[in-house]
Chain A
Amino acid sequence: MTETEAIRLFKCLSDKSRLQILKSLAMEDMYVERLAERLGLTAPTVSFHLKKLADAGAVVSYKNQYYMMYSLKKEIFDTNILEILLEKSDEAEMQARRDAEYRQKVIHAFFEYGKLKAIPAQKKKERIVLEVIAQSFEFDRIYSEREVNIIIADFHDDFCTIRRDMIGEHLLERDANGYWRVKPDCEKGL
């Protein structure tokens, strides 16, 4: 189910009359007049709701002798809500572009001629800045603390704070042998 389809379905379901119609159809297939009688609504009102439900893919109709019967489209309701949430967003590209633009803005604001002007107070901005500094470290290489400090000092004098924050942000890891750059999740499998 696409994001647009999910929105249409959820919008459609947020109406008591339509929910009552679906509850009735969950028991058995029905025609308009029968639903109208059951729910205390006029037949045109039921037809109105059925059309909306059909457009949202929640019900289907079929002809049975003189009657147009309506039935629940069960496979739609078998969909797990989590599956819908995990669907790739139609907006994903747009969101990625906005994120990239924001990132560029932060880098532009905090770096001048390759030097960090100040350590951002905002965590989100600091993360971006630290990611930029982390690019100066190679993957799969162990650095001594002195080497780490020299690399960071190229960006900012307060290399202690930055080194500590890079560990805190899991951009660098350390043990008794030294420091190394952590691979991003997307690169770990490569």
Chain B
Amino acid sequence: MIEQKISKLNGYFDKEISLCEQRSKNLLADDRADEAAHEKIKANVYGIFRTILSVAVKTGKGDPDAVRHFFFLKIQQIPSNWTTAYDQARQHDDTVKMQVEQIKLDTVGSIRETFTAIWEEKS
């Protein structure tokens, strides 16, 4: 049961990372370096949470609630710095930095939604 969910989540992370990398490559080939960098940022965020998932699985030792708890704890803790950075950027009207932080936060939001959907899914 839990193995299936973990495998589904890993599949999701792998797919998203590969999509981001592909988009980044295409954008770079189209002379859109900054947007390509944004896709790399997304891929990095997916990569971070794929690692978090594997740590959650190890520390959870087969207990779905423990895995869920650990993952959600980290998905709240890690982006808190990004939220602070976003707020600071907004105060200084730094649209460039805001965009970067927003991309990270949006990506985390989408990871949270997907994790919840897969984890709460009834088999």
Count of chain A residues with a beta carbon within 8 Å of a chain B beta carbon? 12
Q: Complex Cα distance A156/B38, Å?
A: 65
1/0 per residue, CB under 8 A from A, across B5-26: the answer is 0000000000000000000000
Q: Which residue of B lies closest to A45 (CB)?
A: B35
Judging by beta carbons under 8 Å apart, are B99 and A52 in contact? no
Count of chain B residues with a beta carbon within 8 Å of a chain A beta carbon? 13
Q: Which residues of B contact A51 (CB under 8 A)?
A: 94-96
Q: Which residues of A contact B33 (CB under 8 A)?
A: 14-15
Judging by beta carbons under 8 Å apart, are A17 and B96 in contact? no
Judging by beta carbons under 8 Å apart, are B32 and A17 in contact? yes
Q: Complex Cα distance A50/B34, Å?
A: 12
Q: Which residue of B lies closest to A32 (CB)?
A: B95
B65 within 8 A of partner (CB): no
Q: Which residues of A contact B32 (CB under 8 A)?
A: 15-17
Q: Which residue of A lies closest to B106 (CB)?
A: A44
B3 within 8 A of partner (CB): no
Q: Which residues of B contact A14 (CB under 8 A)?
A: 31, 33
Query: Which of B30, B31, B95 has a CB less than 8 Å from the CB of A48?
Result: B95
A residues bordering B, Cβ < 8 Å?
14-17, 44-45, 47-52
Known: A14-B33, A16-B31, A50-B95; 16 extra A-B contacts, CB below 8 A, are A15-B31, A15-B32, A15-B33, A16-B30, A17-B32, A17-B35, A44-B99, A44-B102, A45-B38, A47-B95, A47-B99, A48-B34, A48-B96, A51-B94, A51-B96, A52-B34
